[in-house]
Structure formats: structure tokens, C-alpha cells
Amino acid sequence: MIKKILAASLALAASIYATERVYMAPFNMIGLNENFALPAEKLLNTYIEDNKNFILLNYTEQDSVKAGDRVAANKKAIEKNCSKFIIAEFTRLGENVITSFKLYDVNNETAVWSDRLKAKNPDDFDPIIQRVARNIGTDKKATDDDDIYSVTEQETKTRKKKSMSSYIGGQITSMVPVNPEAKFEGGFGLFVLYDARNCLFGFDWSIHNIDSKKTHRPTLSGLTLSAYYPFGTKNITPFIGGGLAYSRRSVELDTYRYYDEDDEVVSSGLTGEIGGGVILNRASRVMFIAQVKYFADFFESPFVEYKDQKVGDYGMNTQVITKNYYINGFKFSLGLGFGI
């Protein structure tokens, strides 16, 4: 039992020392109320813990480190067995606040990571600190972070605005049924998409092979309800998912029919879909969406053939031969959506 406790203790100690220890000096507020400093420091501590970048040691009153004093922060970081330390400065310039974050190696006057972001008001501190916590100490700047849910009010003045969650738009589509034979069917459609951050919900209508009378193949149309899982919250987001469609397959007959005979062969039912795609410019006013899906009908669809038969000495009669197949294949779409 003692050996197990000792082994667990050693493993815990190894994991602690395997992660870098970073000392955070008090934030320097220039032209701002000093009361903003403590909440900002707590936010950075919380977000760094969430991202598990390193172990952050906050300053205490006993440290006697003044805000913005790099030399004192370096000395205290060494005393606390830290390999790095953070210096942050918030400076008010007119209506805006310039936030500056720098990460130093101990005994080094040059920052190994630094960035500056502009805040319109204190409400912007939270998204700024989120982005700093995600990227500090990496090769990426917080300025370049494109997470669509940590955008400042200052950035909403630019085309970085991330406020849209519902879209309506049009799409160019194509279907390639693989039975009874592989055939490209061009088409178009409309879609509605709702972005719930961790899930996407879609409703779309599409139609393919409109001129079935000429091709002798069915016109393919349907209404689809889908749900997708997005991989992250970036400006460019891939996703996977599936849905269920109510589909209609119809062929307009290309031959003379008597008044009491049908001039169209129709079938309808449910279709399952599964696939994925990518959203470009997510959560902005204009977005693009590309998708690839595999679909399978749960009902048979009509395909027709025409056979001429001789009637009497001079007459001819065209016989319509209908064959039914379960259609399955692939569906491709490229859409343009507008925020609503």
C-alpha cells in the first residue's frame, strides 16, 4: 500500500514539474481605474487553467512587486521557481484601451511572446483575455485568433463581426445515383441554416434532372432536415452529420397517352443522408457552405423504357416499360447564405 501511495505521489510530482511554472505580475493600469486590474488578472488565471498551457502563479501582496516592474517580476519569478513571467499593461487612449501582454523567460530582457489588442470598453477585456490565454507562449498571436465567439466590440466595426446565427440562401447541387447506373444529375436548391455554436441545424430543398421527359430518368426532389456537429468555432469550420428527407421521384412519359391514362410515373418516401462539409466565413453576414453527402432511398423509384410494337400492317404502338430501383448515391452542393 505504501509503495502505491509513493508511486502516485511521484507521478503527481512529475506531472507538476513537467508543466512550466509562470509567474504573473500585477497588471499595470494607465489612465484606468485600478479596480479593473484584479478582475482582469483573475480572468487570465481562469482561462489559462482551462487551456492548461502552464501552471500560473499569481503575485501576492507579500511579493512587493509593483505593476509594470519587469526587473522585480523577474527576480520574484526566480524565487518562486518559475521559468517565465507575464507583464500586462492596459493603457487608455481617448475612447479606446490598448492592452499589451508580454511573456518573458527569466533573466531575459526580450519577450518570447507579445501582443497588443484594442478594446472599445471594459466589456472587451473578457474576449481579449480569452484569446491571450489560448495563444500566449505559442507561435500564434492572439490578434490572429479567429474564434468567432471571443470577438470584441471594437472588432464589430470591421468585417470581423461575428453576430449571425441564422442563414437563408441558395445552392448549386448535383446528385450521382450509383444504381441502376452512375449518372450525373445537375440541380439547384434553397436552404436555411441555424448555428447553435456546438450544433448546426439545416433545412433544405433541392431538385435535380428537371427534364425527365427527355432523359427518361426520374426527377429527384426532396425536403431535408439535418443536424451537424461542427469541429470548433473558427471562421472556417468543418462539420459532419446527417439527416432525413421526404423525397419525390417522378418521370414524365414521352409518348401519346389516352385521356384516362397517367402521363407521369411517381413514387415518394423517406431518404437517409450522411456526410459532411465546411463553412467559410462562419457567423458573418455572408457565408459559404460546401457539402458532400451519401444518400439512400427507403423506397423504389421508377425508371422507364420505350419499346415500339407493330399493330396490324401499318400501325405502331409504343409500349412503356417501368422498372423500379432503390436509388442511392452521392450528393454535392455549394451554397451562398445571408445572415437573417
Reference 21, options 111, 137, 116, 108; nearest CA is 137
Which three cell numbers, joined as nine digits, stand for 102? 508580454
Question: Can you say whether the dihedral through the CA atoms of 237, 240, 244, 250 is positive or negative?
Answer: positive
Read off the pLDDT of residues 84-139 as tens digits, 9 standing for 90 and up. Answer: 999 999 999 888 899 999 999 999 989 999 998 888 888 888 888 988 888 888 88
Q: To 10 degrees, the CA torsion angle through 323, 327, 330, 332?
A: 80
**Residue 57 has which C-alpha cell?**
502563479
Question: pTM of the entire structure?
Answer: 0.58
Instruction: Dump the DSSP string for 120-152.
Output: SSGGGHHHHHHHHHHHTTSSS-GGG---TTS--
Compute CA distances 22 → 16, 77, 80, 82, whole Å. Answer: 12, 7, 9, 5
Q: At CB < 8 A and 24+ separation, what contacts does 107-110 make?
A: 107/74, 107/78, 109/70
What's the pLDDT tens digit per position in 56-78?
A: 898 888 888 998 899 999 999 99
Residue-range domains of the chain with CATH: 17-157 (3.40.50.10070), 167-339 (2.40.160.20)
Cell 415518394 identifies what position? Answer: 268
- Is the pLDDT confidence value at 24 over 80? yes
Separation CA 271–CA 266 (nearest Å): 15
pLDDT tens profile 238-263: 999 999 999 999 888 766 555 445 57
**pLDDT tier at 285 (50, 70, 90 boundaries)?**
confident
pLDDT of residue 288: 95
Quote the CA–CA distance of 143 and 204 in Å, as a whole number.
Answer: 36
167 pLDDT higher than 80: yes
pLDDT at 138: 85
- Beta strand pairing status for 21-24 and 55-58? parallel
Mean pLDDT for 175-193 is: 90
**Any bridge partners for residue 140, and if so which?**
none
